[in-house]
Amino acid sequence: MPDKISSITESFSAKTINSLCKRLLANDGLTESLPGNGSIHNDRPLPFIGVFRRPPNNGDPGTEKLISGEASYLIADSQFDDYTPTLVRALAKELTRKFNAVLIVEIWAADPLQGENNHSDGGCRPGFTILTSRNRPPSKTIEALVKSLEAVKINKQKAEVKVTYGENRCSCRTTPLIQHREARKLNCFVIGIEIAPIYRDSKTGEVFPVLLRLFQRRFAHALRRGFFEFSRSHTTFRPGNYLALGKRTLGKEVLTIDRKLAEISNSFDFLLQATPVNMKDAWDSFVRLRYKRKPVFYYRPLPIDPAFVKLKLYKIILERVEDPTLAHLFRLKRRELDRQLTMMEDLETDRFLFGGLQLYGKLDDGFIDTAKNLLLRIPNDKSSNSDKGSLDANEFARKAEEEFDYYRGLYPGMSTRIEIREDIIGLMVSHGNLLIGHQTTIPASRVNALLAHEVGTHVLTWVNGKVQPFQQLYTGLPGYDELQEGLAVLAEFLVDGLSGSRLRLLAARVVAANSLVDGSSFVDSFQELVEIYQFDKKTAFTVTSRIFRGGGLIKDAVYLRGLIKILEYVKNGGNIEPLYIGKIAAEHVLMVNELRLRKVLVPAPLRPRFLDDPLVKTRLDRVRSGISVLDLVS
């Protein structure tokens, strides 16, 4: 065995190291297998490398995952420790020549038998020991690492972080990657991070996969903050933000998984399946029954077998995604698709409502009180639109086509279309297409608002998402509805088309959703809107039908909740333009910003037309100053 290892090392050293160094500096990216199932990855030249040396017999399970999602890492097998220091020195020499200095961060897990933080139940405190040179420590980098690692919180416990100064900056089981004198000569800084391995059972070594994924995401952000500070303090490299230091290359495996998830998402239209096809007949029936009995709704046949699609969904092996941010987003998307598929199986059963609560979240008391307050304080002006005329479906479609033509002029690749259909009521955007119910009538005063809502927000974000290499941006990141609808209603306000009656309608949906959750019947909810909140019967029927469809769908409540949250976002200094990059949720804004800074995402080709209007900018300044949802129509 020693002869074989020696032979592999000599062959590797002679034939590969110089080539690896040249490729590393060529800006083309470098991913190479190393002896003993090791690997090196640099998707671009960077003045730092994360290193993990795998102990014999895989004696440190899970730990290598903590750096395998980084933009620059080296994973080596300890049995080939003859070549690893040679390779690290060669890489350090070349990177120092390019950036003036280089940082090597080696990680390993502490002996679980010696740590106080490790317990077999996984309910333990994260801990890190940073090992650095006494004579020449990169002080600002150490400070940044300590601060960011102390912010790592797992199992409701913040991490304990210690700093040890000395010449030993590696595990006691290995030899130094670079001796102190040589590191000084190369202007190479070496830091070791010993990690309390709370992500595995201290007795059996079994990895806790969910805990490991969480640990990886939080450790990655801490590590990149250290890399960022080192780059600013010691090198000629000037990243704009620590988030930009993650991987830029998606890799074939990531693109394949993204494509498969998008294919499943595109194989059905959840909202269309939950929308009755006989709304007009149901209304006529409800009138004949003197509003005393819930009408019968009919739905489209399912175009897929949910159980079979779920099987395909869980055959997608997300564990192959090393990037912690993308892996997290993929898992969230899989969970959302799973719930939607379950809900389609549960259509017209009591279980459908509970699936919706999982998808869209519960309605808290404060939010419900806000909705009721809006209904009581905004006058019920039934005549506000009566003197301004209206547009039928064909006339509105022509207006929408003008909007489409404007955006096609900016981006000829826009392939979405407008359809007038008999199987829907009102307006709907599906897979980027604007669907208009053939009996739809649009008040003239609402045309610009609906164009800004449906085309300037929903269609536009679909088109912008479609150009991204990451397809989840157009199929929709999980839970995107709330931010999308809030952004769309804000657009109505910005173009001066958000009326009191429109805001009352959004509040009515919340009240109806609350009635549904509380166990009220269709008729009771309808009567509440008519008798207490003074809605006309046809409007009350439409609101109640949308909420009670399929067995109970509270999605319509997210319009008002999303609007409230977007007002808060803008008031706190948030810029709305980045939100049009695709179909994203509020919780994804930081992650999407990270992917944008890492250049995983490309610039969006379209921005809403209305944002160029000086009057819109004035109204947006009002929002920035801080206004309540009631102020939008006062």
pLDDT on residue 113: 55
**Lowest pLDDT segment from 81-95, 144-158, 396-410, 610-624:** 81-95
Task: Look up the pTM and report it.
Answer: 0.86
DSSP state of 110: P
Could you give the 3-state DSSP secondary structure of residue 571?
A: helix
Answer for the pair 88, 174: CB distance below 8 angstroms, yes or no.
Answer: no
Q: How far is CA 361 from CA 242, 355, 364, 444, 580, in A?
A: 32, 10, 9, 35, 23
Dist CA 43 CA 212 (whole Å) = 24
* CA gap 288, 532 in Å, rounded: 23
Per-residue pLDDT tens for 6-37? 444 455 565 677 777 777 777 667 888 887 78
pLDDT over 60 at 48, yes or no = yes
pLDDT, tens digit, 9 for 90 and up, residues 319-376: 889 899 999 999 999 999 999 999 999 999 999 999 999 999 999 999 999 999 999 9
Banded model confidence at residue 43, pLDDT cuts 50, 70, 90: confident
Helices (H) and strands (E) in the chain, counts: 24, 15
Q: Is the pLDDT of residue 553 over 90?
A: yes
Task: State residue 162's pLDDT score.
Answer: 95
Q: Is the pLDDT of residue 78 over 80?
A: no
Least confident of 69-83, 94-108, 395-409: 69-83
Asked if residue 485 lies in contact with residue 559, where contact means CB atoms within 8 angstroms, the answer is yes
Q: With H, G, I as helix, E, B as strand and everything else as coil, classify residue 77.
A: strand
% of the chain residues with pLDDT over 90: 72
Average pLDDT, the chain: 90
- Tokens encoding 4: 């074989």
Task: Compare 172 and 552 and report the one with higher pLDDT.
Answer: 552
**Bridge partners (DSSP) listed for residue 401:** none
**Residue 485 binned pLDDT confidence (cut-offs 50, 70, 90):** very high
105: left (phi over 0), alpha (psi -120 to 50) or beta: beta
pLDDT digits (tens, 9 = 90+) for 585-599: 998 999 999 999 999
Q: What is the pLDDT of residues 208-236, one digit of tens each?
A: 999 999 999 999 999 999 999 999 999 99
Backbone angles phi, psi at 301, to 5 degrees: -65, 145
What would the mean pLDDT of 60-75 be, rounded to a whole number?
93
pLDDT of residue 112: 63
Give the whole-angstrom CA distance, residue 425 versus residue 438: 8
CA distance 609 to 328: 33
Q: What is the C-alpha separation between 578 and 594, in angstroms, rounded?
A: 12
3-state secondary structure of 391: strand
DSSP string, 323-342: -HHHHHHHHHHHHHHHHHHH
Return the higher-pLDDT residue of 120 and 512: 512
Query: What average pLDDT does the segment 123-132 reach?
Result: 88
Token pair of 321 as six digits? 């995604």
Task: Read off φ and ψ for residue 126, nearest 5 degrees.
Answer: -70, 145
Digit-coded pLDDT (tens) for 305-324? 999 999 999 999 998 898 99
- pLDDT score for 123: 53
> How far apart are the C-alpha atoms of 182 and 162, rounded to whole Å?
26
pLDDT tens readout for residues 604-624? 999 999 999 999 999 999 999
Higher pLDDT, 458 or 32: 458
Cα 285 to chain center, whole Å? Answer: 43
Hey, where are the domains in the chain? 2-241, 253-275+299-317+324-633
Whether the per-residue pLDDT at 1 is higher than 50: the answer is: no
Q: What is the CATH number of domain 2-241?
A: 3.40.630
Q: How far apart are CA 622 and CA 625, in angstroms?
A: 5
Q: How many residues does the chain have?
A: 634
3 state SS of 363: coil
At 386, phi and psi to the nearest 5?
A: -70, -25
Output the pLDDT for position 356: 94
Strand partners, 8: none
